[in-house]
Amino acid sequence: MSESWQRQSILAHTDKSSPLRAVHSTGLTGRMCVPGDKSISHRALMLSALCIGKSTITGLLESEDVIATAKAMAALGAYVERTQDGAWHVQGVGVGGLSEPDVEIDFGNAGTGVRLCAGLVAATPINVRFTGDASLQGRPMGRIITPLEQMGAVFEAQTPGRLPLTLKGARDPVPITYELPMPSAQVKSAVLLAALNTPGTTSVIETIATRDHSERMLKAFGADIDIEMQGTTRRISITGQHELTAANVDVPGDPSSAAFALVAALICENSEITVENVMLNPTRTGLIDTLQDMGGDITISNRRLSGGEEVGDVRATSSALHGVTVPAERAPSMIDEYPVLAVAAACATGTTHMAGLQELRVKESDRLAAVANGLEVNGVAVRAGDDWLEVDGGAVPGGGLVATHLDHRIAMAFSVLGLVASAPVEIDDAAIISTSFPDFIDRMRQLGANLEDAPGRS
């Protein structure tokens, strides 16, 4: 890691919890930008670390999750530097060139970081020990261990399938054909990254489309990648052990971060906001479609291509929302947006039914349970099953204390609920928001949201 990188103090990291109170607000107005997309930021750092030559990344999300990946790439031998104006330079080590780190790699809260990084090193004969925070240690790693072991990697863990674990990369990796057992871009990407240093052709088959940032970026970095459609099934193949070429990546704004301000503007009276430069990749826009189905006044302007991704400016205006049934097939394109959709549903007339939510059980928290509890303690009628959620909308009483369970999206979603509730909503810990959106509270305040620091309640 370069010295100049280490000198930058870009993380206001704190281990202390920081309670927040969200108070009734009207008239949210203004334009805002959201930070760079988290999925693209992780991938840009990882692929640059494998290139020959220097890549430049602008608009990188500088949040705890992504900084953990930057540190991991430095620990694995890449040169990672942040310049004064916020651009990141990464000097890669070449495919197969990662070196064994002399420290454990701590990914904090970042599931994408650790799962993709495991793929990145799985076909290189080095030992890497991975760990994470309490939330990440509770999340399943078996989903990446299974295919990466088929490729020749070995995993050792005290609790099978959980962090902390040691990965022994394969000396003689073998290509596989792997059909995803669940719709997961992280699992798909882990296998594709392992394929880069595996001789022959490795294929991943997905029957349900998940976000395709890895495929797009692998192409941009010159990987030998082929995508074949068989009906609605996609077969993504990589022929490995080809060098990657350095590239410049301009990271567009994260639609999953934009979601909170957009929903806030729809449900607060007299509001109109525009979020600029939002990525509109169709594998990520399920929330916008759903909010429009609910009667939300959302318009998109200035559509353009940026860094191989479609982007645009998204305007949301106060709207009378009505409940809808959200089909299970839409879940992968809005998988991180259900907490804030549930908040929109709580303010709509009628009932909203959301299906196909089994993956919400294994996110940063059990999001199905966390959302249901957060709504319930604030007086919203909610029913949850193993993989579904149903919310009855209407006036939101509020007054509840929401447990975030180290989950940034639960913290942000319920801070939006408080803006429409009759009584303030308290969030037990807003510090976790810095894993994905460090400026969230300031930017929401600039739009007119009443978000107050709250003394802890026991």
Burial class (CB in 10 A: 0-12, 13-18, 19+), 166: middle
The tokens describing 20, both together, are: 């927040």
| Residue whose token pair is 């202390």 | 16
How many CB atoms are closer than 10 A to CB 328? 15
Cβ count near 270 (within 10 Å) = 12
Our answer to whether residue 428 is catalytic in this structure is no
Is it true that the peptide bond before 424 is cis, omega within 30 degrees of 0? no
- Do residues 390 and 414 make contact, with C-beta atoms less than 8 angstroms apart? no
Please identify, using beta-carbon distances, which residue of 112 and 290 lies nearer to ligand S3P: 112
- Cβ neighbours for 232, distance < 8 A, ≥ 6 positions apart: 207, 209
User: Smallest distance, Å, CB 25 to ligand S3P?
Assistant: 27
Q: What are the φ/ψ torsions at residue 129 (nearest 5 degrees)?
A: -100, 125
State in angstroms the smallest separation of the CB of 126 from ligand S3P: 23
3-state secondary structure of 391: strand
Q: Shortest Cβ distance from residue 205 to ligand S3P (Å)?
A: 15
Q: Which residues partner with 349 through β-bridges?
A: 322
Nearer residue to ligand S3P within complex by CB, 1 or 209:
209
User: Across the strands, what pairs with 389?
Assistant: 354, 384
Q: What are the structure tokens assigned to 425, written together?
A: 């909503």
Do residues 154 and 195 touch, judged by C-beta distance below 8 A?
A: no
Q: How far is the CB of 359 from ligand S3P (least distance, A)?
A: 6
Least Å distance, CB 451 to ligand S3P, is 23
114 or 431: CB nearest ligand S3P: 114
From the list 37, 336, 428, 429, the catalytic residue is: 336
Q: Which residues bind ligand S3P (CB under 6 A)?
A: 39, 112, 184-186, 189, 211, 335-336, 359
- Number of other residues whose CB lies within 10 A of the CB of residue 422: 12
Q: Which of residues 25 and 186 has its CB atom nearest to ligand S3P in the complex? A: 186
Integer Cα distance of 453 and 20 in angstroms: 5
Of 21 and 213, the one with the shorter C-beta distance to ligand S3P is: 213
CB of 81 to ligand S3P, least distance (A): 24
Per the CB < 8 A criterion, the answer to whether 225 and 218 are in contact is yes
Nearer to ligand S3P (CB atom), residue 67 or residue 454: 67
Taking the complex as a whole, the smallest distance from the CB of residue 391 to ligand S3P amounts, in Å, to 21
Q: Which two tokens stand for residue 335?
A: 């998988």
Q: Residue 57 forms beta bridges with which residues? A: 88, 249
Cβ proximity to ligand S3P: between 186 and 415 the closer is: 186
Are the C-beta atoms of residues 151 and 203 closer than 8 Å to each other? Answer: no
Using DSSP's 3-state secondary structure scheme, residue 452 falls into strand
What residues are labeled active site? 336
